[in-house]
């Protein structure tokens, strides 16, 4: 019908008609929707109050699950490369980027790759090792620990990380339990070697990271590395036939008895190496490793994490609470590893001026730990 003319009863009729239509049940906001909205708002505030990290944790879990699923799919297709193969690819792609910084000395990706090639060539030409053999490392934190680890892995050997703090009976038990063909000992561990040397099995060949040695039946490494070739060994030696094959033996601390060897497969190394990436680390980060390399946290999450990212790590001989914050400033550290009581020790250290940002971080960490 035609609209009524403005003014008079016609306008009142039009207003009444519009009000009636707007108040119709079809246009009113449903009561159940209001209840749902109120419930969602309440849940949001409860989550913020009781589970403040819920979404961050969920994001992390989804990221890890997606990575694990991708690795599993690649494994089924037979197209997954090991962490060692990824390191070789990085050494070709970014050869001059620092991979390891130790006592102010920089070791690039190419330098680490080439020195580990020398280790592989040395033992390959000695003819004492075959693919699948186990080699035990008794070494503290130093670049040659990584060179020996990578070099032996390039020969397809399983590397056993021995805890350099255990002695005598416990150490002999660790060596016997992994049945190594060879034992490689750091120069600073010669005293420990002397203690167990008379009790070692005669069929274990012993090498020390030194240029000379007075110990009987002990070969030296460093003098031979100087003349060894840094050409890569045949690639077929280090290619993993099955990602579930063992790559490392990492021993427990032995607090509840004699140490026990945990078998770490290539697949577990890949999963462990994804930890820093899952937590948001990037290739531009500099990771500070003060934990012992014979520990999975330092070896898998630390060194393996740097390889996964293509990042740089700063390695320290051993943890020092008094030097920690100074090192963080000196090397522009962006990522640290936490384990056990480490953060409590650090928070008790005096502020090292002018590290203001680190001081604020320390106060935040202390508040978090005091609230636990």
55 lies in the same domain as 196: no
pLDDT at residue 159, rounded to an integer: 97
pLDDT at residue 132, rounded to an integer: 92
202 lies in the same domain as 57: no
Domain that holds residue 243: 83-273
Structural domain contains residue 193: yes
Tokens of residue 47, six digits: 């989550």
Structural domain contains residue 195: yes
Listed residue (358, 299, 308, 350) closest to 331, CA to CA: 358
Q: List % helix, strand, coil for the chain (3-state, nearest 5).
A: 50, 15, 35
* Total domains, the chain: 2
152 lies in the same domain as 267: yes
Q: Give the list of residues 6+ apart from residue 65 with CB closer than 8 angstroms, or none.
A: none
150 lies in the same domain as 223: yes
For residue 235, the 8-state DSSP code is G
**C-alpha pair distances (Å), 281 with each of 137, 221, 286:** 29, 36, 9
Angle at 160 between CA 154 and CA 162, to 5 degrees: 135
* Domain-terminating residue out of 80, 108, 126: 80
- Using DSSP bridges, classify how beta strands 205-208 and 182-185 pair: parallel, antiparallel or unpaired: parallel
pLDDT at residue 201, rounded to an integer: 83
CB atoms within 10 A of CB 29: 8
pLDDT at residue 101, rounded to an integer: 98
Structural domain contains residue 320: no
Structural domain contains residue 87: yes
Structural domain contains residue 63: yes
Angle at 167 between CA 165 and CA 172, to 5 degrees: 120
CA distance 228 to 334: 37
- Per-10-residue mean pLDDT, the chain, length 372: 51 55 55 80 84 84 84 73 92 97 97 97 91 95 97 96 91 94 95 92 92 91 94 86 89 83 92 89 94 94 96 95 90 87 81 49 50 50
135 lies in the same domain as 247: yes
Please tell me whether the peptide bond between 320 and the residue prior to it is cis, using omega within 30 degrees of 0: no
**H or E element, residue 336:** strand 335-336
pTM, rounded to two decimals: 0.82
Establish how many alpha carbons lie within 13 A of residue 40's alpha carbon, considering only the half-sphere containing its beta carbon: 6
CA distance 86 to 283: 14
Listed residue (339, 332, 333, 320) closest to 275, CA to CA: 339
102 lies in the same domain as 198: yes
Structural domain contains residue 4: no
CATH number of 246's domain: 3.40.50.980
Listed residue (43, 363, 348) closest to 371, CA to CA: 363
């Amino acid at each position: 019908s035609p609209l009524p003319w403005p003014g008079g009863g016609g306008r009142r009729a039009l207003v009444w008609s519009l009000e009636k239509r707007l108040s119709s049940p079809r246009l009113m906001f449903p009561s159940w929707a209001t209840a749902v909205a109120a419930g969602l708002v309440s849940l949001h505030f409860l989550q913020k109050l009781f589970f403040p990290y819920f979404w961050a944790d969920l994001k992390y879990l989804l990221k890890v699950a997606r990575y694990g699923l991708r690795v599993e799919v690649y494994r089924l297709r037979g197209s997954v490369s090991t962490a060692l193969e990824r390191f070789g690819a990085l050494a070709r792609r970014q050869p001059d980027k620092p991979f390891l910084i130790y006592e102010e000395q920089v070791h690039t990706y190419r330098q680490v790759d080439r020195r580990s090639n020398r280790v592989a060539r040395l033992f390959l030409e000695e003819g004492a090792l075959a693919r699948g053999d186990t080699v035990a490392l008794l070494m503290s934190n130093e670049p040659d620990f990584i060179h020996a680890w990578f070099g032996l892995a390039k020969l397809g050997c399983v590397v056993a990380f021995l805890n350099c703090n255990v002695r005598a009976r416990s150490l002999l038990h660790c060596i016997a339990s992994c049945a190594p063909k060879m034992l490689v000992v750091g120069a600073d561990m010669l005293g420990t070697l002397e203690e167990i040397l008379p009790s070692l099995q005669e069929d274990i060949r012993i090498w020390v990271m030194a240029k000379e040695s007075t110990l009987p039946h002990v070969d030296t490494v460093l003098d031979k590395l100087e003349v060894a070739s840094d050409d890569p060994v045949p690639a077929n030696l280090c290619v993993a036939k099955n990602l579930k094959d063992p790559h490392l033996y990492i021993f427990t601390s032995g607090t509840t008895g004699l140490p026990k060897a945990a078998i770490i497969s290539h697949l577990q190394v890949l999963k462990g190496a994804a930890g820093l990436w899952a937590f948001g680390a990037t290739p531009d980060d500099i990771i500070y490793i003060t934990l012992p390399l014979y520990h999975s946290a330092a070896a898998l999450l630390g060194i393996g994490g740097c390889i996964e990212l293509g990042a740089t790590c700063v390695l320290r001989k051993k943890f020092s609470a008094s030097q920690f914050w100074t090192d963080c400033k000196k090397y522009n550290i962006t990522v640290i590893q936490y384990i056990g009581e480490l953060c409590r020790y650090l928070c008790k250290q005096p502020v090292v001026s002018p590290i203001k940002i680190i001081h604020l971080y320390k106060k935040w960490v202390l508040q978090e730990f005091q609230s636990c």
